[in-house]
């Protein structure tokens, strides 16, 4: 029995980074897919701490909030830095990725037709910040010399942005190298090549 169960809608959405992380860690998980009609009945929503999905179960532990999932896995599987200072920096970069993810989600769901172009024009300003971090920290990871949950989160956000704007990383060699290295890690590559990944849309409204 796989230790982890993800309950979510049929999207990559807020579980994209989590699934990539689980794959890279060699963990198995079960998916419980919730469809719109089922959700609208409201029974499941009532059981959710914040009235929303995704939900992650790890044995008896039931969690909500997608970034909490990443932190939990980071703690359990050695992807949360070597000491408290590294952990704090990992939190900081993950929060920075979350800021970008939130802007992306807002554009996708609320202003795709009117705001996509301005969003893409504004991207270099955000991407250059992560470029500078990776350039400074020569290891190829955001913090220290090993993988953390923030790396998976950044990677997944960058993959989605390359779908939105295929050339968006062209001016950022460190980010391009990062995406290329992450994509070619064997377990990540196998997951990204799988139907499980490919069959899920990035977002729930058909926009990407």
Q: At what angle do helices 84-110 and 112-136 cross, to 10 degrees?
A: 160
| Residue closest to ligand 0HH when measured from CB atoms | 204
User: Which residue, 97 or 143, has its beta carbon nearer to ligand 0HH?
Assistant: 97
- Cα distance between residue 81 and residue 178, in whole Å: 18
HEC per residue, 69-127: HHHHHHHHCCCCCCCHHHHHHHHHHHHHHHHHHHHHHHHHHHCHHHHHHHHHHHHHHHH
User: Which residue, 26 or 206, has its beta carbon nearer to ligand 0HH?
Assistant: 206
Residue 121 φ/ψ, nearest 5 degrees:
-65, -30
User: Which residue, 54 or 96, has its beta carbon nearer to ligand 0HH?
Assistant: 54
Least separation in angstroms between residue 197's CB and ligand 0HH is: 16
- Cα distance between residue 144 and residue 147, in whole Å: 8
- The contact set with ligand 0HH (CB under 6 A) reads 9, 11, 13-14, 36, 39, 45, 52-54, 65-67, 204
Least separation in angstroms between residue 14's CB and ligand 0HH is: 5
User: Which residue, 15 or 188, has its beta carbon nearer to ligand 0HH?
Assistant: 15
Q: Which helix (H) or strand (E) holds 57?
A: strand 55-58
Q: By CB neighbour count within 10 A (0-12 exposed, 13-18 middle, 19+ buried), where does 42 fall?
A: exposed
Least separation in angstroms between residue 114's CB and ligand 0HH is: 20
User: Which residue, 37 or 60, has its beta carbon nearer to ligand 0HH?
Assistant: 37
CB 100 within 8 A of CB 157: yes
Least separation in angstroms between residue 54's CB and ligand 0HH is: 6
Least separation in angstroms between residue 65's CB and ligand 0HH is: 5
């Amino acid at each position: 029995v796989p230790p982890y169960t993800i309950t979510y809608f049929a999207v990559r959405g807020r579980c994209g980074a989590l699934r990539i992380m689980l794959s890279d860690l060699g963990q198995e998980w079960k998916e419980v897919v919730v469809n719109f009609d089922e959700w609208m009945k409201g029974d499941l929503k009532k059981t959710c701490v914040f009235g929303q999905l995704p939900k992650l179960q790890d044995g008896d532990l039931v969690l909500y909030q997608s970034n909490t999932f990443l932190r939990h896995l980071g703690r359990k599987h050695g992807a949360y830095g070597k000491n408290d200072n590294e952990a704090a920096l990992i939190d900081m970069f993950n929060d920075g990725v979350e800021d970008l993810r939130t802007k992306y989600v807002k554009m996708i769901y609320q202003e795709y037709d009117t705001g996509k172009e301005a969003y893409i024009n504004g991207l270099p300003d955000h991407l250059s910040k992560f470029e500078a971090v990776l350039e400074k920290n020569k290891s190829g990871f955001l913090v220290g010399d090993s993988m953390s949950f923030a790396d998976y989160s950044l990677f997944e956000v960058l993959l989605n942005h390359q779908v939105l704007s295929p050339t968006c990383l062209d001016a950022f060699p460190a980010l391009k190298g990062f995406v290329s290295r992450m994509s070619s890690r064997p377990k990540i590559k196998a997951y990204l090549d799988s139907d499980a990944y490919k069959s899920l849309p990035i977002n729930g409204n058909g926009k990407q």
